[in-house]
Amino acid sequence: MTFSSIHERIVSGLTFPLTQYLYNRRGIVSSFRQSSLTEKMEEDFISAIQLRNLRLIIEHACRNVPYYEKLFKNAGIRPNEIRSLDDIKLIPPLSRDDVISAKRDLLDRRYKASALIVDKSSRGPAEPIPFARFKKFSLVRNTSSGSTGAPTVFYEDGAVSAMSWANELRVKQWFGLQPGIREVRLVRISPDFVMMNRANTFRRLLWNQMILPGVNLTDKEYAFIAKQLDIFKPNIIWAFTAAAAGVARYMVEHGITLSENPRLTITWAAPLYEHERESIQKGLGCTVGNIYGMREVGHIGAYCPAGSLHVFQESHLLETDDNGELIVTFLRQTPMPFIRYRTGDLGEVAYQKCVCGRTLQVIKQFHGRTGEIYTTADGRMFSPNFWCRAFMDARLANVVKRFQIIYAKDHSLKVRMILPESVRPKAESILQQMIFKNFGPSTIIHFEYPLDIAPQLSGKYQMVINEAKV
């Protein structure tokens, strides 16, 4: 047995589950083990698991969450009336706007004090809390962009993250990769992140992982990432679709090849288009997969090696409404239940035989997100999340009612905001500073103050409009 395979075993059997447990992310390994059995069971068997979990979370929501208590009362339904999966349609869907206006009403009332503490903390979005398992207040605050023009703030206690980690182990297994193998993750850290910091040493030893920047990347970072991949030699790379495509494109353009290719790259946070898959395959020399998910409810599904987009049915109930929109319910008890949450994505959920042998439902006709990625003249990429985080800045979040960003054809930026006149100069100076820092100091910015920001034909607000896209 080689040293690296011993390390893999220690990571998968001991240090990974133990440290995750201390972050209050429990049951990762057991959920993963169970899923490898259930994913090949009869349709009825999986539906029965879903129904049992659904009834538990509805009961929990009606008892502990003010929003659902009211919702059920107003809709005239009682939790025990949900007797089949179809009965879920009795419950009105939840939109991002509902989440924004409900605020803490959507939170289990026993967690109110914890939410107050986490709101004041300087911890970044989704940053886990060390030893959360043993702390009284253990909520993690997170944010999501979507296309509503206002960031959605939500809280979780580790259950959503735990399920996502379990589903990542499952996807690795689908492609024949063992838990504990060496991996690289291109994540939401700033490009000036220092490599040998504590977080990376911790990850390398305990999780056999390296993290590298995955947002706002330029050629400088691409070169750095390519070099690190060559040194660390991961078996698998996880990355935002734009980041993986960017690195791969850079490597092809500069004739860089890795001394040892990874076996798999999994992209997320955006659909994987065919040209991106091809270019990642070419640049990184490996198979490419994609995970579909949302920050609020974690990973919802993933492509199997046979090319079907399977739903993680044990943890997520996915339906398609009359307009073709995917509606998701997270099937684990959490302090902030998402029951019939509108994804804003189009697709059709169906049972369909897959040659991979898994009986899990598949999403057909998947059209994915409306969110736009923007590339600056010098190659930096920005997802709508950049703006989401910018406007989450406490100095802006309290005054800006709604905003919209337009990337003009001439590469200037139009920032449209709805906010009181008196605070406009201050907001402009804060934004100008952020934009110059990230887009470059010569960026031309136009500030506009419309009376309203009109929704699109679909009735949704588009947070980012990319006119620069050809």
Per CB under 5 A, residues contacting Zn ion are 304, 306, 308, 354, 356, 358
Strands 374-375 and 445-448 turn out to be: unpaired
Torsion of CA 115, 107, 293, 310, to 10 degrees: 140
User: Shortest distance, CB of residue 357 to Zn ion, whole angstroms?
Assistant: 7
| Residue placing its CB nearer to Zn ion in the complex, 212 or 354 | 354
Find the shortest distance in angstroms from Cβ 312 to Zn ion.
Answer: 13
Least Å distance, CB 406 to Zn ion, is: 40
**Shortest Å distance, C-beta 170 to Zn ion:** 12
Residue whose pair of structure tokens reads 């995970």 in the numeric block: 291
Give the span between the Cα atoms of 47 and 49, in whole angstroms: 5
* CB 132, min distance to Zn ion, A: 35
d(CA 296, CA 316): 12
**Quick one: 215 or 304, whose CB is closer to Zn ion?**
304
The rounded distance, in Å, linking the Cα atoms of 363 and 326 is 9
CB of 305 to Zn ion, least distance (A): 7
| CB closer to Zn ion, 25 vs 277 | 277
* Cβ proximity to Zn ion, 7 vs 40, nearer residue: 40
User: Do the bridges between strand 362-368 and strand 381-382 make them parallel or antiparallel, or are there none, so unpaired?
Assistant: unpaired
For Zn ion, give the closer residue by CB, 130 or 307. 307
| Nearest distance from C-beta of residue 38 to Zn ion, angstroms | 14
Phi-psi region of 216 (alpha: psi -120 to 50; beta: other; left: phi over 0): left
CA dist 362 and 200 (Å) reads 36
Nearest approach in angstroms of CB 355 to Zn ion is 7
Residue 42: both structure tokens together: 């009869």
Name every residue whose Cβ is closer than 8 Å to that of residue 181 and which is 6 or more positions away in sequence: 8, 172, 208, 235, 236
Structure tokens at 296: 């609020």
Residue 94 or 354: which CB sits closer to Zn ion? 354
Q: Is 438 exposed, middle or buried (CB count within 10 Å of its CB: 0-12, 13-18, 19+)?
A: middle
Residue 44 phi, psi dihedral angles, 5° rounding: -65, -35
382 - beta bridge partners?
374
CA distance linking residue 145 with residue 96, whole number of Å: 10
Helical (H) or strand (E) element with 200: helix 198-207
Output 205 or 306, the one with its CB closest to Zn ion.
Answer: 306
**CB 179 to Zn ion: min, Å:** 20
Compare residues 304 and 349 and give the one whose CB is closer to Zn ion. Answer: 304
Q: How far is CA 40 from the centre of its chain?
A: 26
SS3 of the chain: helix, strand, coil, percent, to 5: 40, 20, 40
Q: Which is nearer to Zn ion, 303 or 382 (CB)?
A: 303
Q: How many CA atoms are closer than 13 Å to the CA of 469, on its beta-carbon side?
A: 10
Closest listed residue to residue 145, CA positions, set 408, 369, 347, 381: 369
Q: Closest separation between CB of residue 359 and Zn ion, Å?
A: 9
- Give whichever of 173 and 228 is closer to Zn ion, judged by the CB atom: 173
